[in-house]
Copies of this chain bind each other. A is one copy, B any other.
Amino acid sequence: MAGMTSPARSTSRERTTRWTAPVRYAETDQQGVVFNAHYLTYCDEALAAFCIERGLGAFAEDVMLKSSTLTWAAGVRHGDRVDVDASCERVGRTSLLMRFVISVEGAICCEVDTTYVYAPDGEPMEVPHAARAVLV
């Protein structure tokens, strides 16, 4: 769909926002790796950073999770720093597909594809044009 990509934001580099944080001790479990649920918390923060960088601070609070697929490649340990690269893959009428690539020192640990529905009042609404222009 033509409206889904913004010619002004043409390179992969520009389309991505990185959120980064050291792994917290409390996030590891007794196997010594980050417990699986925390990856969704990292993505949540990465979405917020992605939106703030595009001047869409409130947008992150106006979307609801519809579905999320996580694929793990390697465990993450205390002492590691996780980098989460967030990008918007697609914007539909009322939804958007975000991709989060979680890595440690360049090695991918987990990839997450999440579909959000824009629902500022709890009901799906059309994604505003202003947002659409800067998301992808």
Question: Which residues from chain A sit less than 8 Å from chain B, CB to CB?
Answer: 21-22, 24-26, 28-32, 35-41, 44-45, 48, 61, 64-72, 78
CA distance A66 to B36 in the complex (A): 10
CB distance from A68 to the nearest CB of B (A): 5
Pairwise interchain contact B37-A38, C-beta atoms closer than 8 A = yes
Is B69 within 8 A of A65, CB to CB? Answer: no
Q: Please state the number of chain copies in the assembly.
A: 4
**What chain B residues lie within 8 Å of A64 (beta carbons)?**
72
Once A30-B78, A32-B30 are accepted as A-B contacts, the answer to whether A41 and B24 lie under 8 Å apart by CB is yes
Contact status of A36 and B21, CB under 8 A, knowing A26-B29, A30-B28, A41-B26? no
Q: A111: nearest residue on chain B (CB-CB)?
A: B67
Chain B residues whose CB sits within 8 angstroms of the CB of A38 once the complex forms: 37
Q: Are A26 and B21 in contact (CB under 8 A)?
A: no
Beta-carbon contact of B45 and A25 below 8 Å = yes
Residues of B within 8 A of A39 (CB): 37
